[in-house]
Amino acid sequence: MFSKCHFYIVKIKRNILALIFLCFGISLLLFSTSNLPAIKKGLSLWATSVIPSLFPFFVATELLMNTNFVNILGKSLNKIMKPIFNIRGEGSFAFIMGIISGYPVGAKIASDFRNNNICTKEECERLLSFTNNSGPLFIVGTVGISMFGNSTIGLLLLITHILACISVGFIFRFWKYNNPSSNYIKSQNSNYKKYENVTFSNLGEVLGKSITNSISTILMIGGFVVIFSSIISILKASGILQALALMLTPIFNFLHIDTSFIYGILTGLLEITNGINSISNINVKHISINIILTAFLLGFGGLSILLQVLSITSKTDLSIKPYIYGKLLQGFLAAFYTFVAINVFPFFNFDL
């Protein structure tokens, strides 16, 4: 009897993904009434927000990688990047673009660096931990102005987001610190593909490849946005989110946090845009709670971003662990820095 039960458990473990995908397919049919509007909303969000804010940056980074800009930046900033982040100067390109563009540009550049042998495996994993960030356009524009209706809140969230990012980068300078291969770059005769240096004669070809690669990435992101919009809709319609909320209610009561935030946090852990939008719409006297929780979600990024990064890094030998640890740490640090700023600087305190 015991061996028979053990056999069924092993069988379920072996086919767990198939079972999950089957349940997802059935749920799409059962909850089609609520799914269709959610999918349309996801597509609208991708078309009106994601493409305009990310696609130009994808093309720009692809084009810059075909010039000497990365090498020039590396030589200029090596004295800053090496002591602070334990990464050669070229890593500053991923750091800068990751801050000014948004998810998942930093991870894409780190993966490109690894594929093109610009940085070591350890350096690229350190880059993964802190260069994949939410962009200022999203934080200040979408979150601050559109969701909270206050640009100062957006500015506060941006400042603490960047501070948390830099803090994580400094902490992860010790990632695989004593690894003997951490400063070893393969020879120029390696099999890594090289970007073609752009000239006026091949500008059209390079631009075409840059646009094609960028379209592939932006379509992948669009797919994740739509799928997670559908998943959130299914979890809500099936009552699973409500059940999870009830389970977490005692914990929130113990921490003296309004239980109305539970749904927004759970949603944000899956997909940050929907989660932050939910949190920003909760009317409480102490709005600082809304802002601090939003800072955490912006730093963490959510499961949707994690899977986007995993789909990019899966084409390399980079480990996803430093990214997961780094984003969790960045989320908590961003929330802590936001809490400190609200309590230290009166102009950042919006409580009634």
Is 341 within a domain? yes
Q: Among 328, 326, 334, which Cα is nearest to 110's?
A: 326
Residue 191 has pLDDT above 50, yes or no: no
Q: What average pLDDT does range 241-249 have in this prediction?
A: 88
Residue count of the chain? 352
Is 8 within a domain? no
pLDDT of residue 51: 82
Domain count within the chain = 1
Residue 157 has pLDDT above 70, yes or no: yes
Rounded to two decimals, the pTM is 0.83
For residue 184, give the 3-state DSSP assignment: coil
Q: 161: pLDDT confidence band, cut at 50, 70 and 90? A: very high
pLDDT of residue 149: 87
Q: Among 322, 321, 103, 324, which Cα is nearest to 220's?
A: 103
Domain extent, residue 82, equals 38-177+195-348
CB-CB contact of 228 with 22 (8 Å): no
Q: 3: pLDDT confidence band, cut at 50, 70 and 90? A: low
Is 16 within a domain? no
Is 21 within a domain? no
Is 215 within a domain? yes
Task: Tell how many helices (H) and how many strands (E) occur in the chain.
Answer: 17, 0
Cα→Cα distances 150→140, 246, 320, Å = 9, 32, 35
Helices (H), 172-260: 203-237, 240-254
